[in-house]
Amino acid sequence: MRKIININNGWKFLRQDEIEAMNKNYNDESWESINLPHTWNAIDGVNGDDFYKGVCWYRKEFIIATLEKGKKVFIEFEGSNSITDVYVNGKHLGQHRGGYSTFRFDITEAVEYGSKNILAVKVDNTVVDYVYPQMADFTFFGGIYRDVNIIITNNVHFDLMDYGSKGVYIIQKEVSKEKASLIIKTRLVNQNGEDKKVRLWTDICDAEGSSVTYAAKEVIISAGETKEVELLALIESPTLWNGRKNPYLYEAKISVTSFNDRLDELSIPFGVRYFRVDAEKGFFLNGEHLPLHGVSRHQDRKDMGWAIGHAEQLQDMELIKEIGATSIRLAHYQHDQFFYDLCDREGMIVWAEIPFISVMMKSEFEGINAKQQMIELIRQNYNHPSIMFWGIQNEIQIGGERPEVRKVVKELNEITKKEDPTRLSTMANVFFVDETDEYNFITDVVGYNLYFGWYRGKAEDFSDWLDNYHKANSDVSLCISEYGAEGIVEYHSSTPKVKDYTEEYQALLHEKVWKIFEGKSFLWATYVWNMFDFGANIRNEGGVKGRNNKGLVTYDRKIKKDAFYMYKAHWSDEKFVHITSKRFIDRTEDKIQVKVYSNCSEVTLYINGKELKSKANCHKIFVFENVMLQDGINIVKAVGISNGDVYEDLAVFNKVAEKNASYEAPVNDKGRSAENWFKMPDLSDVVVEDIDITGDVYSTRCTFEEIMKNEEAKKVLRKYLGKMDEHPSFAMIRWMSIDRISTLAKDVYNEKMMYMLNKELTKIKKN
C-alpha cells in the first residue's frame, strides 16, 4: 500500500545562491531554521519597491526505513515558485518550471535506506523567458509555499508521473436525473522486472459510505509498462451535485490487487452533474438556471504571502459563503488542491485558469510552458465537480498584436478540449479587444475585464457596452470576468468621486454596476475583482504601496468593506442590517445621508434614541436623507424586520468643526488622487494640428518598449512623461502602445499631450 509522509517541518533555508548546497555533506548549520509552507517575500513582496527575485536554497534531512527497499519512492511538491531544482544526496533529480502546480520526482535510486538522506532544493523566482507568468499585476512570491510529501508505493501503482495527477480520471460520459454513466480511466504503472496480472476494482460509495455500484477488470501489465485501463460504472437515480443547494459528493475507492495483496489504493471524492451556458439566458446547472454571482480570489494575505495553510483557506471560503457568492474565479493560476476540495464541498462553481497573462514571451513562440501548465491544471483537477470552466488566458493582448499569441491561444483551446471535452473553455479579454475580433470566438464562452467607473468612463457605461456587444454577438456567451474599484477604508467622503479611493466610492460603483448586471439576463456570470485585497508590488496608489485594494475584504481579512455588505444584501439569504460609512466618524455637516444595506423588507432608523423614519421595499439599499446631527457624539441605530425577526446595527458619528484630513487620499499637483511619477507639463498654449504618421517613424502607435529602445525617442517620452520607465508600474504598460494606454488615462494622455508626443516622435526614423 502507498504511504504518504508529510515533511513540512524541520527545514533549513538560505536567501541567496549557494552552488555547493546541493551536496550531501554541505554544512548548513548557519542557515535559518524554517517550516513549510514558506516564502522569502512575505514582507518585501508588498512594499511597493523591488523585492528579492532570485535563487534561494532549502535543505532537509529525512530517513527511509530499510524495510521500504524494493519499493518506489517519490518526492511531491504541491507548490514551489517558480523554477525548482531537486537534489537528493547530491544527485540532480530534475527541474520543474512553473510555480503553481503539483510536481513529483522519482527519488528511488538516489535514496540510501535506513540512514540519513539530504534533500536539497534550489528555488528561483526570477522572471525568465521560458516560464509563465512573464508580467502581471500581482506579486510573484518565491518559495516552497505549499506542502511537500514523500510517497512510497509498490512497483505496481497508479501513475504518479502523469503531470502531477492522481493517475485516475472519473469521466462523466452521460449524466441526467435518471442515471450517471461513468468511465473510470486509470493509468497503471508496472516497475517490476516481470509481467504482472492484477485486478483493478472500483467501489462507488454514497455520502454515507454505502456502496452503490462497483466495477472490476483483470489486467496483465507488462514489465516497465504504463497502461491505460478503463472501467465502466453506472449510478442509477443519482443524487446530483447541485451547487450550494446540495453539493453532494460520492466517493470512488479504487484499488489494484494481486491475489490477496492490495498494491495501491486511492479514494477520490467526486460529484455528478450536468451544465450548459445559453447565450441568451446564462448558466444552467442540472437543467435549472443558476445565476453565477461570482468573486475572484488571489491566494496571498498580509505578512504571509502565498505561504498560507488550511486555516487561512477555510477563512477565505467562509467569507465567500457569507457574501452569498455562487461562483469563484480562481485567478490567475492554479490554486491549492485543498481550496478546490473546499469548492467541491461547499458547492461553488469554479473558473480555474493558468497564468498565461498580459504578455507572451519575447523569444519562445510555441507556448511550451503555457501548454505544460494547461495540461497540469486539467489533469490534476479533473475530478473536481466544482470546476466547470477552464481559463486559457487573461488579458494576453496587453503584449500587443502578435500572430504567435493568437496561434498559442488557439492551440491552448485545442489542448483544453482534447484533455477535457466535458467542460467549457473560456478566456478573459482585455477591454480594447474589439467585439468582432476572433478572440471572441475561440473558446466555448468568453469574459471581458472591464473597469468602467474606475480606469475609464463611468459606471453607467456598462449598460451600453453590454447591449452593443450582445447585439453584435448574439450567439456568444458573455460574462464580465473582472470589474471593480479601489477602496481604502481610511478614506471617506460625503461626495465620493472616481479615483478618490474612498470606501464610499467603491461601494457606490458596485451599487450602480450591480443594478446594471441584474438586468442583463444574457450574462452567464459576473466576477467582482477582487474578493480580497492582494499583493501587487508594482503598485503605489492612494498612499498604499505594494497592494491592489479592490478587494471587498482587506488584505488581512480583518475588515469587510461596505461593498461587501452591498453584495451580501443582494446575494445572501442570511438576514442582516449594515449601516455604511461607519468608519467615516468625524462629520462637519449639520445634516448627513445615512445609507443602510439590508436584505430585510423594512428598515427603521433611530438617532440618539429617537425614531427617525422607516423605509420598506428599497431593493436592498435604504437611504435616509437629511439626518440631523447634534454637536459631538451621535448614535445611529438601524433596525430591520423580516418575517417578524429583528436585526440591527449601530454607528457612531462625531459632529466636529474641522474636517478630518486623514479621510482624504494624497493628491498631486493636478488634483488627481492616483499618484503620478512625473509632473504634468504645461500645454495650455499648444495648438493641435494634423500630423501625417507613416510606418517608418516613431509615434504614439508604437509600444513603450519600442520607444525605449531608441535613445532619441526615449528622450521625447521622458520629456513629457518623466522617467516613467523607472517606475515599478511601467512593467504593466511597457508592451502597450501609447494610443492604447491613452484610452485608460485620458486626463494624462489628452489631445494636446498626444499631439506633442507625435509632433516630436515622428521626426525620428525607425532603425
Catalytic residue numbers read 395
Phi, psi of 49 (to 5 degrees): -115, -170
Residues 308 and 37 sit within 8 Å (Cβ to Cβ):
yes
Of how many residues is the chain composed? Answer: 767
What's the CA gap between 594 and 607, in Å, rounded?
11
What's the CA gap between 77 and 75, in Å, rounded?
7
Locus of grid cell 537534489:
87
**Nearest CA-CA partner of 52 in 162, 130, 126:** 126
Phi, psi of 38 (to 5 degrees): -150, 140
Tell me, letter by letter, the H, E, C secondary structure of 615-679. Answer: EECCCCEEEEEEEECCCEEEEEEEEEEECCEEEEEEEEEEECCCCCHHHCCCCCCCCCCCCCCCC
Residues 167 and 218 sit within 8 Å (Cβ to Cβ):
no
DSSP E strands in 89-210: the ranges are 91-97, 103-106, 116-124, 143-144, 148-153, 156-158, 168-175, 179-190, 196-205
Amino acid at 281: K
What's the grid cell of residue 107? 527519488
What's the CA gap between 92 and 86, in Å, rounded?
6
Question: What angle, rounded to 10 degrees, do the helices at 711-721 and 751-761 form?
Answer: 160
Q: Is 358 left (phi over 0), alpha (psi -120 to 50) or beta?
A: left
DSSP E strands in 354-477: the ranges are 387-394, 424-429, 446-449
Strand partners, 548: 534
Q: CB-based burial of residue 374 (10 Å sphere; 0-12 exposed, 13-18 middle, 19+ buried)?
A: buried
Residues 503 and 487 sit within 8 Å (Cβ to Cβ):
yes
CA 197 to chain CA centroid, Å, is 45
Give the up-direction half-sphere exposure of residue 686: CA atoms within 13 A in the CB hemisphere: 16
Residues 13 and 117 sit within 8 Å (Cβ to Cβ):
no
Q: Is 400 left (phi over 0), alpha (psi -120 to 50) or beta?
A: left
CA angle 267, 270, 272 (to 5 degrees): 150
Tell me, letter by letter, the H, E, C secondary structure of 540-609. Answer: EECCEEEEECCCCECCCCCCECHHHHHHHHHHCCCCCEEECCCCCCEECCCEEEEEEEECCCEEEEEECC
What's the grid cell of residue 545? 504601496
CA 447 to chain CA centroid, Å, is 14
What's the CA gap between 478 and 373, in Å, rounded?
25
